[in-house]
């Protein structure tokens, strides 16, 4: 953090946070959306009116483009009229000291004394495995090795479009410690429905208390995961060591509580 950022933080009222554009607290925002209207002045005015209803003051259409059929894409600038009290926000904390692969393996050897069994899948009709593979596959992603490379993890990557029932059955067969489910498709909240179904199946089998349940994906947050009954949720910017560290620490905590 440079000196300018430090000064800005000192001047900032955390009870009245607004977006930052040209100056601290000016509320400047950029907004983009598509309207089902044919490109033209009527569509442009509709976009401005909609932005005003969203709370933007002085909305300006800075870009518009005709899409296929009677649809128009817009980019607008405006001033946000709303503020957020950041001091009132409480989110689930998943933070442990960031550890590398060797440190995590050493932690497990010392406190668990066996390999941790992790089963991962993209469940339901979701066919996207890029995020799942980035966390699990040995080669990992962006220089961060996947959990398969860790000595103290035994990993089963079931791939995509795995029915929740089959996912849970594998957890029972392999005596899993943790289930990692990835969800990318979010249209009509299908990810919420699928994750809810998974938790219901695990609870019906009577194994929820002994499983570490983790959800991941571009629209997954820690708050959403907790609401749905998971232990943790990991979104964009997550690497294998973040997930592995959480699993290791959570398993050690469970072991300590059971003593």
Does residue 49 carry a catalytic annotation?
no
Task: Tokens 């550890």: give the residue.
Answer: 99
Tell me which of 49, 65, 139, 193 is the catalytic residue.
Answer: 139
Question: In the beta sheet, which residues pair with residue 60?
Answer: 77
Provide the annotated active-site residues: 139
């Amino acid at each position: 953090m440079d000196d300018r950022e430090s000064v800005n933080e000192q001047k900032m009222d955390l009870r009245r946070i607004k977006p930052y554009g040209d100056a601290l607290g000016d509320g400047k925002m950029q907004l983009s959306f598509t309207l089902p209207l044919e490109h033209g002045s009527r569509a442009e005015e509709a976009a401005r009116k909609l932005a005003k209803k969203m709370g933007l003051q002085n909305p300006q259409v800075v870009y518009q483009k005709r899409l296929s059929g009677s649809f128009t894409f817009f980019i607008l600038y405006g001033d946000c009229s709303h503020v957020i009290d950041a001091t009132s926000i409480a989110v689930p904390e998943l933070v442990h000291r960031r550890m590398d692969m060797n440190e995590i393996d050493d932690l497990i050897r010392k406190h668990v004394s066996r390999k941790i069994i992790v089963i991962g899948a993209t469940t339901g009709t979701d066919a996207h495995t890029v995020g799942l593979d980035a966390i699990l596959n040995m080669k990992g992603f962006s220089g961060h090795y996947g959990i398969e490379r860790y000595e103290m993890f035994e990993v089963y990557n079931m791939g995509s479009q795995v029915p929740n029932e089959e996912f849970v059955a594998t957890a029972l067969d392999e005596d899993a410690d943790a289930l990692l489910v990835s969800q990318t498709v979010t249209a009509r909240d299908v990810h919420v429905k699928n994750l809810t179904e998974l938790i219901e199946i695990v609870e019906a089998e009577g194994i929820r208390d002994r499983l570490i349940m983790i959800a991941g994906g571009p629209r997954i947050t820690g708050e959403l995961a907790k609401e749905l009954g998971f232990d943790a949720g990991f979104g964009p910017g997550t690497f294998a060591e973040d997930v592995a560290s959480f699993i290791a620490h959570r398993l050690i905590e469970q072991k300590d509580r059971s003593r």
